Structure 1
Amino acid sequence: MRTRADRCPGVLRPWAAQDGLLVRLRLVGGRLSGTALDRLLTVSAEFADGSIHLTGRANIQLRGLPGRGGALTPEALAAVASTGLLPSRSHELVRNIVVSPQTGHGGGRADLRPVAARLDALLCGDPALAALPGRFLFVLDDGRGDVLDRPADVGLVALTDTHVQLRIGDRWGPVIGIDGAAARLVELAGAFQAARGAGPDAPWHIRELAGPLERSVAADSRVPAPSGPLPFGDVPGGVHVPVPDGVLTGHHGRSLTPHGELVVTPWHGVFIPQP
C-alpha cells in the first residue's frame, strides 16, 4: 500500500538534488523541435549544468538549477518556460505519453502522431486529470512492437491503420477505431482517477487497484510481439543517434539543432527523421 503521494519532478515541483534543483520537461512522444532544443541548451548553459538529460520515458531533465524555498528562482523559471516546453502549468506532471518514435516516418501500421496530440489536448483540457499521479503512463505502439513491453496504465497498439486494441493496466481492452482512441484513453484515465480515491495511500497505477476498471478481453491475433529497443544508426525513416548515458552535452546537442524535427527515444537516443 502506498504511504505517500508520488514525487515525480516537474518545472513547478522540482527535485532538490545535491547539485541544485532538478526539473523534468515532458515531451509528447519525445517530439522536440530543433529550435526548442537550441533554446533549451542556452538555458542549461546559463542556469543549469550545460547539458540536457534524457529519461527512460523519452522526457528531458535539467540539473543544477538555482532555487529559492524549494522552487526555481523567477529568472530560471522564466527561462525554462521560454523554451515552449511547458504548455500546461496545471497538467505538466501528468503529460506522460510514450509513443513509437518512428511513427509517421518509417514502418508501423498507423501514424500515431495525431492520436498523441489529441490525447495531450484532451488530457490537459480536463481539470480533474491534473491530479493524476506523476507516474501514470500512456503508451502508444504503432504496431511495430517497439514500446509494447513498456508497463502502461492505459495505452494502445495499432492493429491496422484504422483500428487499435486498448491496453488497460496489465490487461487488454476492446478493439476500437483509431479516430476515437484518444478520447477513450482519457475516459479510462478519468475512471482511474475516480476509483483511486485521494490521500497519500491512493494507488499510482491501474494495476494497483483492488479490481479491474472494466472487463478484459484476449489479445487480438494481430498484436505483434515486442520488438525490443530501436537500434542505433540508420533505421527506417531516419537515423537513431545514441546519447551516451543519456547526457546530451552542449556540443552534441548543438549538432542536432539544425534539424527541424527530432524525437527523443526511451533508449537514451535521438531519432532524426529524414525524407
Structure 2
Amino acid sequence: MLAAMSASPLSPRSPGDACARSSGDACPGALRLHEADDGALARIRIPGGVLTPHQADALGLAARRFGDGELHLTSRGNVQLRGLGADCGAELARLLDEAGLLPSARHERVRNVVASPLSGLDGLGAADVRPWLTGLDDLLCTSDGATALSGRFLFALDDGRGDVDALGADLTLLGHDDGGHGDGSALLRVGDGDDVLRVPASGGPRAALIAAEAFLDAARDTGAWRVRDLPDGEAAALPAQVERRLREAGFPVTPDRRPRPLEALPPAHGPVHGPHREAALSVGVPLGRLDPAQWGLLSGAGGLRLTPWRGAVVTGVAPDRADALLHELSGAGLITGPGSPWAGVGACIGQPGCAKSLADVRAEAGAAVGPPGRLPVYWSGCERRCGHPHGEWIDVVATSDGHRISHVRGDRTTGTVTVRDDPPALAAAVATARGTHP
C-alpha cells in the first residue's frame, strides 16, 4: 500500500551528525570501541583507502580472531570490524600497530581522508594525489592541534576529476591543470562553497592543515564538529580567514571559483585502463560487507584502494592474470562489471546490529534486488540515515508506518511515498523510483 507525501527539503547534514559539541566526540575508532547490539565495533581509519597486502591480511586476521569474521566498508573508505569482544581492545591495537595501521594513537580518529581511487592509474585527472595523501597524513599525525578535530571532520583529495569533490568534505584539495606551466597548483575548497583558493601543488597538504587549524579556532566558541555546523556568520567568514593565514605562512594565494559537482560518481566496475604495465581492477562490494573468503581473495590479489562507494580497486595485478582474477572475484559474489543487480544498492547495518534501527534493511534490500536502476538506492533503518550517499539517489527509510521512499537530489526530496508492510509492493516501488528497466 502506497501513501503519497509532499516534497520537502532535505537537511543539509546527515541526521546522524552532531551540530554542537554538547557531549564528547563519540565516534568509534580503533582504540575507542563502540558498543553495538551485535558486540563491540571498531572503525579503522585508512587514509585514501590505501592498504598494502600485509595490512589487508592483518585486518582479515583481526576480523576472524576478534570479531564476526566480516569486514564492513564505510562511505569514507574505512573498515569497521563488528561483533568484537569487549575485552579485545589491547590485542586488537597491538595487531593493528604492528601492521602500520596505527601511526599515532592520539590522531587515529582524525585520519579521515578520502582520495580519488583511480588517481595515477587511468591517466585521467590533473594530478596524482598520492603524494598529497602521504604528506597530509604525516602532517596530521605530527600536529598537536589536529587532535582537536572530531572523528567526523573530513578531508578530500581530488585529482581534478571531481569524484570525491562531490562528497561534501570539510576541506577539499583539487588537482588543477595549469596548462603545463610551472610546478602545478592545487585548489583548496573550504566547506561547501564554490569559491576556492589556488595554492602551489607542493604545498597542498600544509595548506589543508592550516585551513583545519583555522576551522578549529572558528569552532572554539560555537561547538561545531564540522564546517557545515558553524553558525552562518562564522562559516561565511572562514574562507577569508584561511586565505589570510595562508598568506601569513608565505603561500602565494589566488582566489578562484570552481563549482562543486553534484554527482559523486564511483569508478566503473571492471578493468581499469591506463598507461601502466601493471593492471588494476575495480570491484563493488554488495552492501559493503566482505566475508573472510572474499577479503582473502582481494587481499591476496595485490594492493588495495578502498573507495568511498564501498568498493575496492586492486592494484599491481600482472596483466596476464587480470582476466582470471576478474572471473574469480565475480564468482565470489563481487561486482565486476555493468549489469549486476547489486550495482548502486546500499544500506546501513540495520537490525540486528543497531538498536536504533526499525528494520533489517540489509535483508530487505536483498529481497528487493532486481535489474539495475538508473539511480542508486540506499536503505536506512532509521531517520539518522547513517552512511547515505551524496548527490542524487533513492532514499528508503524504515519508519513506524512502513518504509518512506523519496527521490533525493542535492538538498531537496521529491516524489515521496510510504509503503506499509508489503514486501512485493516495496520492491516494486523502489524499482519504479530508481527508473529500473526490466
Structure 1 stretch displaced more, 182-191 or 211-220: 211-220
- Give 1:58's aligned residue: 77
Listed one character per residue, the Cα deviations across residues 176-213 of structure 1 (whole Å, up to 9, x for unaligned) are 11001110000010111122116xx6101112223221
Q: Which residue pairs with 1:167 in the alignment? A: 189
Match status 1:91 vs 2:112: no
Could you tell which deviates more after superposition, 223-232 or 156-165? 223-232
Counterpart CA distance in 1 for 2:256 and 2:197 is 9
Q: Work out which structure has the larger RCO, using CA pairs closer than 8 Å and 6 or more positions apart in sequence.
A: 1
* Partner SS, residue 186 of structure 2: strand
The residue aligned with 1:219 is 257
Could you tell me how far 1:261 is from its partner in structure 2?
1.4
Structure 1 segments, 4+ long, off by >4 Å, are 223-227
- Which residue in the other structure is 1:250 paired with? 292
Question: For residues 69-109 of structure 1, what are the alpha-carbon distances to aligned partners after superposition, in whole Å with 9 as ceiling and x for unaligned?
Answer: xxx44333323433321111000010001100011111211
- 2:167 matched residue in structure 1: 150
Which amino acid letter does the alignment assign opposite residue 26 of structure 1? R
Equivalent residue, structure 2, for 1:262: 304
2:162 partner amino acid: G
Q: Which amino acid aligns with 1:123?
A: L
The residue type paired with residue 214 of structure 1 is P
Q: Is the 8 A contact 2:31 2:89 kept in 1?
A: no
Check 1:73–1:10 CA distance in 2 against 1; reply closer, same or farther (3 A cut): closer
CA–CA separation in structure 1 for the residues paired with 2:262 and 2:126: 14
Residue in 1 that maps onto 2:57: 38
Q: Secondary structure at the match of 2:199?
A: strand
Preserved contact between residue 302 and residue 314 of structure 2 (Cα < 8 Å): no
Contact 1:28 1:98 in 2 (8 A): yes
Number of paired residues? 269
Change (3 A) 1:100 1:258: same
- Mapped to 1, the partners of 2:83 and 2:141 lie a distance apart of 28
2:239 paired with 1:186? no
Distance 2:302 2:102 in 1: 19
TM-score by length of 1: 0.90
In 1, Cα distance between equivalents of 2:89 and 2:108: 18
Match of 2:322 in 1: none
1:25 equivalent to 2:44? Answer: yes
User: What TM-score do the two structures reach when normalised by structure 2?
Assistant: 0.58
SS, match of residue 78 in structure 1: helix
State the partner residue of 1:9: 28
User: Could you tell me which amino acid in structure 1 is paired with residue 163 of structure 2?
Assistant: D
Instruction: Check the 8 A contact 1:241/1:271 in 2, yes or no.
Output: yes
Amino acid aligned to 1:247: R
What pairs up with 1:134-149 in 2 under 5 angstroms? 134-149=151-166
Q: 1:167 to 1:39 in 2, by over 3 A?
A: same
Deviation at 1:165, TM superposition (A): 1.1
CA distance in 2, matches of 1:204, 1:86: 23
Which deviates more from structure 2 when the two are superposed, residues 123-132 or residues 234-243? 234-243
Instruction: Give the 3 Å change call, closer, same or farther, for CA 135–227 of structure 1 in structure 2.
Output: closer
Once residues 65 and 227 of structure 1 are traced to their aligned partners in structure 2, the CA distance between those partners, rounded to angstroms, is 32
Is this contact kept in 2: 1:147–1:226, CA < 8 A?
A: no
Stretches of structure 1 lacking an aligned partner (at least 5 in a row): none
Aligned partners of 1:141 and 1:248: how far apart in 2? Answer: 26
Question: What's the secondary structure of 2:42's corresponding residue?
Answer: strand
Unaligned ranges ≥5, structure 2 = 1-18, 179-183, 244-254, 275-279, 318-438
Deviation at 1:9, TM superposition (A): 0.6
Taking only the aligned residue pairs, the percentage that are identical comes to: 39
Q: CA deviation at 1:130?
A: 0.6
Give the letter aligned to residue 239 of structure 1.
L
Matched residue type, 1:248: L
Q: Residue 380 of structure 2 corresponds to which residue in structure 1?
A: none
Q: Residues of 2 paired with 1:227 and 1:65: CA distance?
A: 32
Letter in 2 for 1:163: S
Whole-angstrom CA distance in 1 between matches of 2:80 and 2:131: 25
Q: 8 Å contact 1:35–1:260 — kept in the other structure?
A: no
Q: CA deviation at 1:34?
A: 1.3
Cα pair 1:122 1:186 within 8 Å, conserved? yes
